[in-house]
A and B are shown apart, each in its own frame.
Chain A
């Protein structure tokens, strides 16, 4: 199994509070991704990173920010959580940018509930 951990695994928070989710990898892969999974929507890309301090927006980036100061860590921050951000969040890594040769490996997920 790819060495990907996510923390916390479960979190309940209140509307308006900041929340940070952490993804940690031990594979030294260049690319890291944050997705959210919601019923009826599958997985949707929030942000991704193609190197330290290099990030880009995905399909549903509004309300989220990311940071990557080290190869192994990719942080997802909800500056002011809203109920619409209640979801399961998955981190993934790949050696390339999913360029058809390298699969993405997924972490176990973080279930976030915003009350």
Chain B
């Protein structure tokens, strides 16, 4: 079945550091890929998405590129802020209109 593997946390960075959170997937067909973010005490909200190979999703300074050849969708940000501290989830849905499959989440802490 479909699955998502993302790097385990927690990840602790200093403010203005470069962020990479790795995500790889296994799926049938041509999945759409998502990054969701969960701030403390809140539900998940969509951060960015990509629906086909080589698409780049971007939002709030975060970017991720859909790499079919490496089955990856790594999340990056050039300069993190304290306000980026949250849990980040990589997710996918296959082309057959299946519900989302989530990775286990990566907790990011940014210190001033």
**Residues of chain A having any CB pair with chain B under 8 Å:** 4, 33, 40-45, 48, 58, 90, 92, 96-101, 103-109
Chain A to chain B contacts (Cβ below 8 Å), 23 pairs:
A33-B99, A41-B104, A42-B89, A42-B104, A43-B102, A43-B105, A44-B102, A92-B44, A97-B97, A97-B99, A98-B93, A98-B97, A98-B99, A99-B95, A100-B31, A100-B97, A101-B32, A103-B46, A105-B45, A106-B44, A108-B42, A108-B43, A109-B42
| B83-99 near A? 1/0 per residue, CB < 8 Å | 00000010001010111
| Contact count band on B | 20 to 34
Taking A96-B97, A98-B93, A99-B97 as contacts, is the C-beta distance between A42 and B43 under 8 angstroms? no
A90 neighbours in B (Cβ, 8 Å): 43-44
| 4 tightest A-B CB contacts, nearest first | A100-B32, A106-B43, A99-B97, A42-B104
B73 neighbours in A (Cβ, 8 Å): none
The number of A-B residue pairs with CB atoms under 8 Å apart is 59
B31 neighbours in A (Cβ, 8 Å): 100
Nearest Cβ on chain A to B25's Cβ, whole angstroms: 13
A106 neighbours in B (Cβ, 8 Å): 36, 43-45
Interface of B is mostly: loop
A109 neighbours in B (Cβ, 8 Å): 42-43
